[in-house]
Amino acid sequence: MLETLKAMILDAQEMPLEAGVPRRLAVEAVPGKASVCIGVRRSGKSTYLFQIMQRLLNDGVSRENILYLNFFDDRLRGLERDGLGAVAEAYYSLYPQKKHAEKVYCFFDEIQMMPGWESFVDRLMRTEKCEVYLTGSSAQMLSKEIATQMRGRALSWEMFPFSFREFLDYKKIEAAGELSTKARLVVQKAFDAYWETGGFPEVLGVERHIRIMTHQEYFNAVLFRDLVERHNVSHPKAVSDLAHWLVNNAASFYSINRLTGYLQSLGHKVPKSAVADYLAWFEDAYFLFGVRLFDASLGRSHTSPKKAYCVDHALIRSVSSGILVNSGHLLENLVFTGLRRTSPDIFYYKTKSGKEVDFIVSTRGRSRALVQVCETLADPQTKKREVQALAEAMTELNITTGFIVTRSEHELIDTAPAPIPVIPAWRFLLDLSNAEAAEVQAE
């Protein structure tokens, strides 16, 4: 096993780093803590490890000081017998002069495949001069659970499919500062493409039918590897039917009782507790999310219906039946994923008169903001309804920042308690990215 490990370490040091499109994430290593990348399957976690490795090389770190292993490689099956300690032994037998003398950067992909990995990583950080980066996603353990297992000994960051800003990076389109008329038209055209393709890196630039097939493959992989196999689910068809219902009803309300009744109407004998588990597992896999009511009473917040959203708006179109999903719901889902990249603290709100506001969100170091999503305000009654809901919520919550996000409209509505900007989705998503970048720089 030792010779196999040495060969794999040397092979990895010679392999070309396919770093892809640089991601707009700021990850800083903290001494004594592993860095863990968590997120949905195929969002680019492993590629981001290569990007960190490339940055280290650009900063003058020797390739010999970078240890990379993908534990999904079947050549490492023998480690289950020999123990993960053989990894450090193999590396330092190649480079004995580096032990306790030079920092070694360890990148472990799919490490959850190996039993006892937690104690190995902990020991490595305590006894060696190293930085450790981890990622993983499989039927054995979700990447989110890796961060949980390493709690207190790790810092985690979330990886989502490409944001609109990252999609522009992929397209090599600049969108900084004030845009000229030509630049704005280029960005708007790119947004139309992003609207169609979504943000999963693997589907960009492929034919539509390939994109749909790939999205469906992702959907099935999450269902059957991350849920059915991993949790040994006895009603796999119920999980599939539930996921399809949630995707078909993106940006719509649901409750445990309603979902249980729906599954039972299909002939599934599943209790409410099982449905609650399925929903939690979807969220753990960063695949489907539930947004709760914003309420001072935690009891009301938890018992009120939630709203369903998917990690990628284009995946909804590829997987759904197309009967219930409309472009307004897709736009709301798109805005949700943009907000979710900046903060996990997202709720919806209902005013005292029963009017709904789609999102209330707080991001790092910033006050709360209210966001209403409406595909178009062309109809006067629609405009009146959306503005009234937002204005009422701003007054009740004493929040002065509120937006209405549309597909393409732009104006400033003068109303109390504060003017309400109407912003096209492409601009809103870019502004979110700019605000997040400014916060990271300020930290």
Let me know whether 151 and 248 are in one domain: no
pLDDT at 379: 96
Let me know whether 118 and 237 are in one domain: no
Nearest to 81 by CA among 8, 5, 141, 1: 1
- 291 φ, ψ (degrees, to nearest 5): -105, 125
To which H or E segment does residue 412 belong?
strand 411-413
Mean pLDDT value across residues 227-232:
86
Let me know whether 113 and 151 are in one domain: yes
pLDDT at 143: 60
Is residue 18 in a domain? yes
CATH number of residue 41's parent domain = 3.40.50.300
Q: CA geometry: angle at 347 spanning 343 and 351, to 5°? A: 145
Q: Among residues 102, 124, 159, which one ends one of the domains?
A: 159
Let me know whether 301 and 342 are in one domain: yes
Phi-psi region of 242 (alpha: psi -120 to 50; beta: other; left: phi over 0): alpha
Whether the pLDDT of residue 142 is over 70: the answer is: no
Let me know whether 305 and 397 are in one domain: yes
Buried b (16+ CB within 10 A) or exposed e, 297-326: eeeeeeebbbbbbbbbbbbbbbbbeeeebe
Q: Which of 37-46, 112-121, 160-169 has the lowest mean pLDDT?
A: 112-121
Q: What is the pLDDT of residues 206-223, one digit of tens each?
A: 999 999 999 999 999 999
Q: What is the pLDDT of residues 14-28, one digit of tens each?
A: 998 887 899 998 888
Nearest to 9 by CA among 124, 93, 130, 123: 93
Is residue 201 in a domain? yes
Residue with tokens 């009803």: 249
Quick one: what percent of the chain has pLDDT higher than 70? 94
Q: Cβ(34)–Cβ(154) under 8 Å?
A: yes
Distance CA 299, CA 301 (A): 5
Let me know whether 16 and 116 are in one domain: yes
Is residue 170 in a domain? no
DSSP per-residue string spanning 34-74:
EEEEEESTTSSHHHHHHHHHHHHHHTT--GGGEEEEETTSG
Let me know whether 407 and 283 are in one domain: yes
Let me know whether 371 and 255 are in one domain: yes
Is residue 165 in a domain? no
Mean pLDDT value across residues 315-327:
84
Domain that holds residue 367: 181-442
Is residue 208 in a domain? yes
Q: Among residues 129, 159, 189, which one ends one of the domains?
A: 159
Q: Cβ(108)–Cβ(73) under 8 Å?
A: no
Total number of domains in the chain: 2
pLDDT at 418: 92
Is residue 401 in a domain? yes
Q: Among residues 159, 191, 226, which one ends one of the domains?
A: 159
Let me know whether 142 and 191 are in one domain: no
419 cis-preceded (ω within 30 degrees of 0): no
Let me know whether 84 and 211 are in one domain: no
Let me know whether 212 and 155 are in one domain: no
Is residue 24 in a domain? yes
Q: Cβ(342)–Cβ(361) under 8 Å?
A: yes
Whether the pLDDT of residue 439 is over 70: the answer is: no
Distance CA 380, CA 443 (A): 43
Is residue 166 in a domain? no
Confidence of residue 363 (pLDDT cuts 50, 70, 90): low
Let me know whether 141 and 267 are in one domain: no
Distance CA 316, CA 333 (A): 9
Residue with tokens 């700019």: 434
Q: What is the pLDDT of residues 64-84, one digit of tens each?
A: 999 999 888 888 877 877 788
Mean pLDDT value across residues 100-128:
88
Confidence of residue 307 (pLDDT cuts 50, 70, 90): very high
The tokens describing 439, both together, are 């916060």
Q: What is the pLDDT of residues 247-305, one digit of tens each?
A: 999 999 999 999 999 999 999 999 999 999 999 999 988 999 999 999 988 888 888 99
pLDDT at 402: 95
